[in-house]
Structure 1
Amino acid sequence: MASIKDQGNGKYRVFICDGFKPDGRVNRTSKTIYAKSKKDAERQAQAMEVDFKRGQQIQPSNASTFSDLVDKWRESDRYDKEIVLKTRERYEGMLRNFMLPYFGRMKIRDIKALNIEQYLRTLSQDGVRTDGKPGGYSEKTIHDHYMLIQRLLNVAIHWEMLDVNPCIRVDTPKVHKQEAKYYEEDEIQRLLECLELECQETIAKFSCRYDKLSPDEAYRRQQVRIFNDLMHKMYIWLALASACRRSELIGLTVDKVDFVRNTITISQTGHYAPDKGLYFQNRLKNGDSTKVVDMPEAVMQELQAYLEERQKVFYLMGWEDSGYVFVSLSDGKVTQAGGPMLPDVISTWFTRFLEKYQLPKITLHQVRHTSISYLINKGVNIKMVADRAGHQNTRTTEEIYGHVYKKTQRATADEYNDLFTGKVSKED
């Protein structure tokens, strides 16, 4: 008898078994269907079971639809083991909003290069965006769609559901790389000055902010607010000095800070997803399990002072220590006070902070670009820069920061000016 699993939003998974095959394997099939109600799903399942037991497979491999392929892919080890959760979420958005409505009912063998090209063209049209923003999607997003289609059809070939991937006849969508935006050295200094001003401002304004509270409660709020500014300052210091990604600093724990060797060890990354909440992965973006980052002594001294203040605030507020360097300061739906910080919290603060002090607009990720560009401008060897950035090879560094290297090459050429203008001293 067919069994049905309700997957929500009118989607059901039907499972049908009928004895065993000659080779001893269970004679079983499954299919995702869409039904108006549970009763409608049961009716469809009964009809499917009759067809199956008559020897008429629901979808032979040579007649499988794109939707069937996606379902089988989701159930496979390829989906769970090869694709990290963050990427999986992005893929599911593409499938749900675009690919399944467009290709879902098409037989895999009927999907041609022309169909793929037409699909990609629709993504660039005005009004297609799910967020309501004007215009179509970016070159990178369209490229990502193409790569997912190619990946799925390659899986179909592996499973002998398809002979040739039509993507080979489709020109790979071009992505014109944008220069990585970053702060120059004078802008970095201004950023650091404003972080210090923010801390001083909080202390100065405290006396008139909490005058209606009891002395004890006012003191507690004051200390949390001061620590909040200190935490923001420490985050930017670490981001600038380590070139770490946001996810890497969110996942940083106190026990991974070594004040003897002046290093921090990144062994996990922190992420947020609406359906999963805050979660951590024991793998870095480049696939490594850990990354040890040598840190400047001045930054480590500041970090040591910060962790001492962190301990005082935890004791004062009675929070349970989660062990994370950067923490939440209030209870919420996702995390509690003293627990790990949500990634978007620090990003939202940074945007408002730049606006408040009228600093050039950059994203939090571009603080990482600033850190890496600073080293390049200082003439640090590209291999060392790539290692610090966590790039698997120097080619990645050169591609992302090529415009910075061009600037340093110009400066290198200018060093010859004195030689040819007679300004080189005899001692030189």
Structure 2
Amino acid sequence: MSQPSSTAVEPQLSYDPALPISAHVDQIAGLIRDHQVVIVAGETGSGKTTQLPKICLGIGRRHIGHTQPRRIAARTVAERLAEEMHVPLGDTVGYQVRFTKQVGRNTAVKVMTDGVLLAEINHDRTLRRYDTLIIDEAHERSLNIDFLLGYLKQLLPRRRDLKVIITSATIDTQRFAEHFSDAHGRPAPIVEVSGRSYPVEMRYRPLGPEGTDEGDEDISGGIVQAVRELGPTGDVLVFLSGEREIKDADKALRDARLANTEVMPLFARLSAAEQHRVFQAHTGRRVILATNIAETSLTVPGIMFVVDTGLARISRYSARTKVQRLPIEEISRASADQRAGRCGRIAPGICIRLYSEEDYLARPEFTEPEILRTNLASVILKMAQADLGNIETFPFLEAPDRAQIRDGLRLLEELGALAAPGAGGEATGDAGRRRRPARGPGDTSSCD
């Protein structure tokens, strides 16, 4: 619910010297002043997410939109920003996610999911309410992020006053820089900020042979063994593929009766109150069982150790069954490195991988962007709902195959899900025409 504020509280802008980005504040501020687009790249924990809005406020930007890929991240980032700036949440700093909005008339930094910003394009085509946009965690390359990056590329020549800051882990940053090249073909500047303050020791503890009926038990048992190996003190962050796997590991750890140890889950379907418990002060050791929402979007405080199962649920379209599935798959090397980077921030850390080093080295370098593993009919329908224009000429970072686009259009027209372009006899077979979704229930997943 929106909570307008009648009097503004003056925000306090200071930068934690312990955060690596703090050494680059003047450099980043200068680049934002001199360029329309700036890429800020850094490892997990570098301070990009919380310090960039303050840098923008410090150089006079007053209407900042700050996107996050997940609702839990949007809420916690807004709360953290408000705390650091000593202002009430909903005053200078507010947030909006699906079904919840806490902003006021004095809000200068609005943290939101990327789906919320995408939905705003429907009624604010030039995004006039913002003078600055921070697109956080762009390396995740979700559909929403790719839609926003393409739309902003089209918008920037018409909004010369708009500043855009793209943040990414140190993953393929040159692609973002080249995507936002200026009129002279010069790529956007990249600022790299280091993230990990202390070394992280990698340990490989592969589980038993794959393909056995005891696969889930092997993972839970491997987690218990890893937690025991890490000793009796120091918080542990365990990455698992999903909610069911978290519950299995939770039971195994409780049955192990580890002394002075609290086990806590962290996944998207938990209530806000349950999610907030992870960030509260505590005594004793805490073992947090998390999905990949803790990989980049959230920084769980006090983590000394990481246990990585090397698995995640990754949305993927099956051309054979014509169904969008959510199978458990091995993560990429980049994702594994992100997970390992969650420790080594407050002291030397240890990451135990429940797979072999050979397995790690054989994995793909990056996770495939969502648009390349999604049914294009779904992509086309979402673009039509957001009124993003012609899919064939839309400036994606990586454009889908044209033949697959035509197949997607044909399927939607056969299903009656997409109205033919124009009512005056325009050819429906031309994929270059703008189409609108037919009347009927829409997929709201892009407005998270």
TM-score scaled by length of structure 2: 0.24
Point out the structure with the larger helix share.
1
Query: Which of the pair has the greater relative contact order for Cα pairs under 8 Å at 6+ separation?
Result: 2
> Based on CA coordinates, which of the two structures has the bigger radius of gyration?
1
The TM-score normalised by the length of structure 1 is: 0.25
